[in-house]
Amino acid sequence: MRLKHGLILMTLFAVISDGLLIPFYPQFFAERYGEGSPWHVGAYIAFISITVMCVFPLWVRVARRVETLHILQYTQGIAAALCLASYWAPDLLSYWVLSMAMFAFKSSYLLNFPYLMRTESDETRGGTIGLLSVTAHLGVVLGAVAGGAVIEHWGVRECVLLMALADVVQMLICTWLIRSRRMVPVLAEDAEERVAPRRFSLAGHAPILKLAVVMLLFDFGAALVRPFFSLYWSSLGDAGSGAGGELAAGAAFAVPKIVAVCALLIHRWLTLPEQHPTRRTLANLMLGAVGLGLQAAPDVATLLIGRVLLGWALYQLVINFDVQLYQLSTPDDFGRDYGVINIFQNCGVLLASFTAGSLVATLGLRAPFLVACAAFLLAAALWLWRLPKARPAGRATSITPDPEESSHAPVA
C-alpha cells in the first residue's frame, strides 16, 4: 500500500466515524439523556464546528514543525480514548466536555488533505482531489447506513463505540505507514531551509477570501438539512408516504453520496465535453438549489429525486472548489490557505447548526430545505458576480485536473 492509498483509507475511516451519528443526534440525545430540544441539537453541532474551527489552525502550526503522520499517530489515539470515555459519560455535561475534546484531537485528520497535496505532482493532483472527494462521499454513505443499522439492532449508544474503533484504525494505519518507511517527509531538515509562508493579508488574498465566502454559503446550505433529516423522513412515514425506519432514513440520507460515487464512475467511463468553469459551477449551484427545493415537498419520491439532484451538484462543486483553491494557492501556502478556507466552511456549518434548530422549533421540519435552497441561490449570484481567478503562472505551476479523473478544473 502506497502512502497515497494509506492516507485515503485514513480519510475514509475518519469520515465514517464522523458520519455515524450526524443524521441521528436528535434520537441520540433523546434516548440517552432525555434531551429532545431541537435547539440543543443545533447548539451541539454548532459547538463541534466551533471546536474544529478554533483547533485546526493550531494543528496547521504544529505541522510546520512536526511531520503530519507523527501528529496523527498520537492525536487519533487520544481521540479514540476520549470517545471511549464519552461512551460511559454519566450525564449530558460530561458527554459535552469529553466529546468536544475528542473532536479537537480528531480534527487533526484534516491535515491529511494539504499533506497529500504536497506529496502529489501537478499532473496527479487533480485526480487525487477527485478520489478524495469520492472517498469522503463514500465514508458518509457507509457511516449513515451503519449508524442506522446499529441504532435499529443495538441502540444509539453503540455508535460511539464504532466511532472509537474508526479512530483506532486510523492510528494503526498511521503507525504502519511510518514504520514501513512509506512516509514522505515534507519538512526541511534544517529550519533555515524552510520557506516561510507569505504573510496573510486581505488585499493579497482577496481571491481566496471571495472563494471562501461562496464556500461558506455552499456549506451552510449543505449542512442546514442534515441534523433533522431523519426526523423529517420519519414524519413522511407518519403521513403515510411509505418511509421506513432508521435504516431507511440512513439510506435516504446517504443518497447524495451514492450519487457522487456514481458521478465519478460516469466521468471515468464517458468522455464528457469540457465546459467553461464559470458556467459549470453556476449551473451546479442552481441544480443543487432545485434539489433542495424538491426535498421540501411532503412526498418520498419527490424527496429522493431532490436527493439525487443534490448529490450530483455536490460532487461537481466540491471538486471544482478544491481545485480552484489550489490554483489560487502555492505549495508552501497550502496548509495555511486550506486552514483559512476551513474556518469559513466551519462558520457555514456553525451558522447552519444554530439556524436548523431554530427553524425546526419555530417553522417546522420543511423550513431548513427552503432556506438551504435560498443559500445556494445566493452563492450562485455571488459566484457570477465575483468569480475568483487562478494565480499567475509565475507564482506556481497551475493545477490542471485530468478529465478522466476529475470533471473540473477546485474545497469544501
Average pLDDT over residues 351-368: 88
Distance separating alpha carbons of residues 149 and 155, to the nearest angstrom: 9
Average pLDDT over residues 259-286: 70
Which of 141-150, 161-170, 374-383 has the least mean pLDDT?
A: 141-150
CATH number at residue 67: 1.20.1250.20
Q: Between 292 and 387, name the one with better pLDDT.
A: 292
**Closest C-alpha among 241, 363, 353 to residue 304:** 241
Q: Between 319 and 405, name the one with better pLDDT.
A: 319
SS3 14: helix
Q: Classify residue 120: in a domain, yes or no.
A: yes
Q: Between 39 and 294, name the one with better pLDDT.
A: 294
Q: For residue 137, is pLDDT > 80?
A: no
Q: Classify residue 48: in a domain, yes or no.
A: yes
Q: Classify residue 246: in a domain, yes or no.
A: yes
Confidence at 20, pLDDT banded by 50, 70, 90: confident
Q: Classify residue 134: in a domain, yes or no.
A: yes
Distance separating alpha carbons of residues 371 and 310, to the nearest angstrom: 15
Neighbour count for residue 209 (Cβ, 10 Å) = 18
Neighbour count for residue 334 (Cβ, 10 Å) = 22
Q: Which three cell numbers stand for residue 178?
A: 511510518
Domain that holds residue 160: 3-183+203-385
The pLDDT mean for the chain works out to 81
Distance separating alpha carbons of residues 409 and 333, to the nearest angstrom: 20
Q: Classify residue 163: in a domain, yes or no.
A: yes
For the chain, the helix, strand and coil percentages under 3-state DSSP, each to the nearest 5: 75, 0, 25
For 311-367, give the secondary structure using H, E and C. HHHHHHHHHHHHHHHHHHCCHHHHHHHHHHHHHHHHHHHHHHHHHHHHHHHHHCCCH
**Closest C-alpha among 375, 376, 226 to residue 313:** 376
Q: Classify residue 403: in a domain, yes or no.
A: no
Alpha helix positions (H), 34-67: 38-62
Neighbour count for residue 82 (Cβ, 10 Å) = 22
Cβ atoms 48, 79 nearer than 8 A: no
Q: What is the DSSP letter of 90?
A: -
Neighbour count for residue 31 (Cβ, 10 Å) = 15
| Contact partners, residue 157, CB within 8 Å, separation at least 6 | 28, 31, 32, 87
Residue 31, CA distances (Å) to 86, 149, 151, 155, 156 in order = 15, 16, 11, 9, 8
| 237 burial via Cβ count (<10 Å: 0-12, 13-18, 19+) | middle
Q: What is the pLDDT of residues 168-195, one digit of tens each?
A: 999 999 999 999 888 888 775 434 445 5
Number of structural domains the chain divides into: 1
Question: Amino acid identity of 382?
Answer: L
**What's the predicted TM-score (pTM) here?**
0.72
Q: Classify residue 99: in a domain, yes or no.
A: yes
Distance separating alpha carbons of residues 126 and 343, to the nearest angstrom: 23
Residue 23, CA distances (Å) to 3, 141, 186, 229, 389 in order = 32, 11, 37, 6, 36
Cβ atoms 321, 401 nearer than 8 A: no
**Closest C-alpha among 285, 281, 260, 263 to residue 272:** 263
Length of the chain: 412
Q: Between 204 and 89, name the one with better pLDDT.
A: 89
Q: What is the pLDDT of residue 404?
A: 35
Q: For residue 129, is pLDDT > 60?
A: yes
Q: For residue 398, is pLDDT > 70?
A: no
